Amino acid sequence: MSSTPPRIVLFDLDGVLSHRDTMSHVVIRRFAQHPLRIPLGLPMLAASLLLDPTNDNRAKLNRRLVALALRGLQHTDYNALADSAGERLALSPHWPVLAAIARAGHHLELGDRVIVTTASERRLARRYLDAVGLGTVELFASELKATFTGLACVTHNYGVQKVVALDRARIDLADALLYTDSSSDLPLALRCRETVLVNASSATARRLAPLVPRLTRVRWR
């Protein structure tokens, strides 16, 4: 007898399972500890915010900001920082999107294959997911590498790279359900059967609506 494979259900993390950007929290914390780096980082941040989320230059600027913030760190120190940040954010009353976390848990109970795909760094994302009760979900995330000056992004799981990573893992997206809040996930939404926009802006909804079939919007807390 043949069995039906579980449905693939994809969740973005930042903006969907968390109200705010987890990696940005770590970057801001590092800049607060090293204020002399702020004048170097502000022009990159300003330029990044002016660019469309789908623009490759925005992703490049964000990687440079992360490298600047993590300068001088190696994996041991970063791991401790990521662990404490992920657990602290999960316990904050203002950070987790409880309805989205409950929906992910419901999909797990149904037997769906739940995957979180995020531009946030793997260790940080894993700690956050563990702490909000989603420790069993699969995770595709950005990866850091050690360099001469500190840590830098070696794999940035952002935009079309999310599709590349899932294809490499031979995950069939034809019948997948995607929960996202950002137009940067348009390449992924175009491959999925259904997309749910979680707490997305009206501009994002207007942009994706003509392009993405079976698109719905929800407002979750």
CATH number of the CATH domain containing 148: 3.40.50.1000
Residue 159 located in a structural domain = yes
Residue 118 located in a structural domain = yes
Residue 183 located in a structural domain = yes
* pLDDT score, position 134: 98
Give the mean pLDDT of the chain. 96
Q: Which amino acid makes up residue 41?
A: G
Count of structural domains, the chain: 1
Q: Map tokens 């995330």 to a residue.
A: 141
What is the model's pTM?
0.96
Measured N-to-C along each axis, helices 22-33 and 122-131 cross at an angle, to the nearest 10 degrees, of 120
Residue 2 located in a structural domain = no
Residue 191 located in a structural domain = yes
**Is the confidence at residue 204, as pLDDT, over 70?**
yes
Give residue-wise pLDDT tens across range 157-175: 999 999 999 999 999 999 9
Give residue-wise pLDDT tens across range 137-154: 999 999 999 999 999 999
Domain housing 79 = 8-218
Element (H, E) at 197: strand 194-198
Which pairs with CB-CB distance under 8 Å and at least 24 residues apart come from 53-59?
A: 53/159, 53/182, 53/183, 53/184, 54/159, 54/183, 54/184, 54/186, 56/159, 59/156, 59/158, 59/159
